[in-house]
C-alpha cells in the first residue's frame, strides 16, 4: 500500500509543530505549574508599585499585554524620590517586568489581580505593626525613606516564597526559572535593606521613630500573620540573633546559619492579605489573589 506522505515529511511536520508550541510549556510537569504561577501575584504587585513609584504609571503603559486585561491598581502614584532612589527603583521596576515575562513564557499565568497600592493601604499595615494609628497616616509616596520602608514590605515576602517552592519543583526548567528569580529578588531585598541600614538610627519624620524600629515592627507583624514561627528579621537584632550570635547589624535576614527562610503559599497569602488567614482577602489584594492556590482558599471561605 502506498502512503501519500514520506516518513521524512512526517518527521519534518512533527518537528515544525513542536517548534510552534509555547517555548517551555511542554517541559513543565503539571505538579510545577501551580508553584510557578502563584508568584505572579507578588510579581504583579512589585512591578506596579515600582513602576508607579519611579515613573508615575504602570504596566498599562509599559507592558499592557502582560496584564491580560486585569484591573488597574488602586491608588498607585509617583513617589517623591531623590535621584539615586528613583534610579534604583526604576531598575527594580523593569526587572519585575522581565520576571512577569519569564514566568509567562514558562506557564500560562493569569490576569493581573486587583491591587490596592493606595497610601491608606500601606498606612493600615504600619498602624497594625505599631499597634496604634500613626498621625499623620504613613504615606509611602511622601519621600525616599518612606518609600523604601514600604518597599521593605514587598520583595522579601516573594523571595521566601521562592525558597519554599524550590525543593517542591520537579522539572529542570522550573528549577532554573525559580533559581533565577530568587537570585534577583534576593538582590532587590538586599539593596533595599542596605539603603535603609545606612539610616537605621535616623528618626522618620514626623513620628520620632527610628527606621530600624519600622523594619522590626514590620517583620514581627509578618511573622505574626504568617503563623509559622520566626521567618523575618529587622535591620537591627539582639546580638544573640545576629550572624553567628556575634553582631546586631542585620543587613541580610537569615536563620541561625544565615540561610534564607522559606514560606509556603498559605503563609504568603496570610501576610499580603493582612488578615492572617489565607481564605480572607484584603490588604494589597482586596479581591484576593489568583492562581490555583489562592483561588482554592477563596472558594473554601
Write out pLDDT tens, residues 6-47: 545 444 444 444 444 444 455 899 999 999 999 999 999 999
Instruction: Write phi, then psi, for 175 (nearest 5 degrees).
Output: -65, -40
Residue 226, C-beta contacts closer than 8 angstroms, at least 6 positions apart = 232, 263, 267, 268, 270, 271
Q: How large is the average pLDDT for residues 284-298?
A: 96
Note the pLDDT of residue 299: 77
Please state, in angstroms and rounded to a whole number, the distance separating the CA atoms of residues 32 and 110: 15
Instruction: Write phi, then psi, for 285 (nearest 5 degrees).
Output: -125, 75
Q: What is the residue whose three cell numbers read 505549574?
A: 33
Q: What is the residue whose three cell numbers read 553582631?
A: 247
Q: What is the pTM of this model?
A: 0.91
Q: How large is the average pLDDT for residues 234-242?
A: 96
Please state, in angstroms and rounded to a whole number, the distance separating the CA atoms of residues 150 and 77: 13
Note the pLDDT of residue 300: 67
Q: Is the pLDDT of residue 98 over 50?
A: yes
What is the chain's percent helix, strand, coil content, to nearest 5?
55, 5, 40
Give the pLDDT band of residue 115 (cuts 50, 70, 90).
very high
Give the pLDDT band of residue 128 (cuts 50, 70, 90).
very high
Q: How large is the average pLDDT for residues 273-292?
A: 97
Strand (E) or helix (H) holding 159: helix 155-165
Note the pLDDT of residue 27: 80
> Under a CB-based contact definition with an 8 Å cutoff, are residues 211 and 251 in contact?
no
What cell numbers appear for 158 in the block? Answer: 516573594
> Under a CB-based contact definition with an 8 Å cutoff, are residues 126 and 214 in contact?
yes
Please state, in angstroms and rounded to a whole number, the distance separating the CA atoms of residues 222 and 110: 26
Please state, in angstroms and rounded to a whole number, the distance separating the CA atoms of residues 86 and 199: 17
What separation in angstroms does the CA of 76 have from each of 66, 85, 120, 172, 225? 18, 17, 11, 37, 24
Amino acid at each position: 500500500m502506498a502512503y501519500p506522505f514520506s516518513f521524512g515529511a512526517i518527521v519534518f511536520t512533527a518537528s515544525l509543530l513542536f517548534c510552534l508550541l509555547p517555548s517551555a510549556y511542554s517541559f513543565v510537569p503539571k505538579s510545577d505549574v501551580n508553584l510557578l504561577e502563584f508568584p505572579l501575584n507578588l510579581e504583579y504587585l512589585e512591578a506596579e508599585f515600582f513602576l508607579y513609584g519611579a515613573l508615575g504609571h504602570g504596566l498599562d503603559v509599559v507592558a499592557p499585554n502582560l496584564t491580560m486585561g486585569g484591573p488597574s491598581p488602586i491608588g498607585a502614584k509617583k513617589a517623591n524620590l531623590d535621584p539615586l532612589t528613583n534610579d534604583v527603583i526604576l531598575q527594580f521596576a523593569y526587572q519585575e517586568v522581565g520576571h512577569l515575562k519569564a514566568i509567562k513564557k514558562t506557564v500560562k499565568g493569569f490576569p493581573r489581580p486587583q491591587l490596592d497600592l493606595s497610601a491608606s493601604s500601606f498606612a493600615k499595615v504600619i498602624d497594625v505593626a505599631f499597634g496604634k494609628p500613626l498621625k499623620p497616616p504613613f504615606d509611602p509616596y511622601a519621600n525616599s525613606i518612606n518609600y523604601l520602608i514600604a518597599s521593605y514590605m514587598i520583595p522579601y515576602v516573594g523571595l521566601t516564597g521562592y525558597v519554599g517552592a524550590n525543593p517542591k519543583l520537579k522539572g529542570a526548567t522550573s528549577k532554573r526559572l525559580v533559581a533565577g528569580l530568587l537570585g534577583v529578588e534576593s538582590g532587590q531585598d538586599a539593596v533595599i535593606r542596605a539603603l535603609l541600614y545606612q539610616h537605621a538610627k535616623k528618626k522618620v519624620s514626623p513620628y520620632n521613630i527610628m527606621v530600624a524600629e519600622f523594619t522590626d515592627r514590620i517583620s514581627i507583624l509578618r511573622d505574626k500573620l504568617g503563623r509559622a514561627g520566626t521567618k523575618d528579621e529587622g535591620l537591627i537584632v539582639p546580638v544573640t540573633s545576629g550572624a553567628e550570635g556575634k553582631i546586631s547589624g542585620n543587613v541580610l535576614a537569615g536563620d541561625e546559619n544565615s540561610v534564607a527562610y522559606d514560606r509556603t503559599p498559605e503563609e504568603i497569602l496570610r501576610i499580603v492579605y493582612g488578615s492572617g488567614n489565607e481564605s480572607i482577602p484584603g490588604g494589597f489584594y482586596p479581591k484576593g489573589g489568583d492562581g490555583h492556590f489562592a483561588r482554592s482558599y477563596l472558594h473554601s471561605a
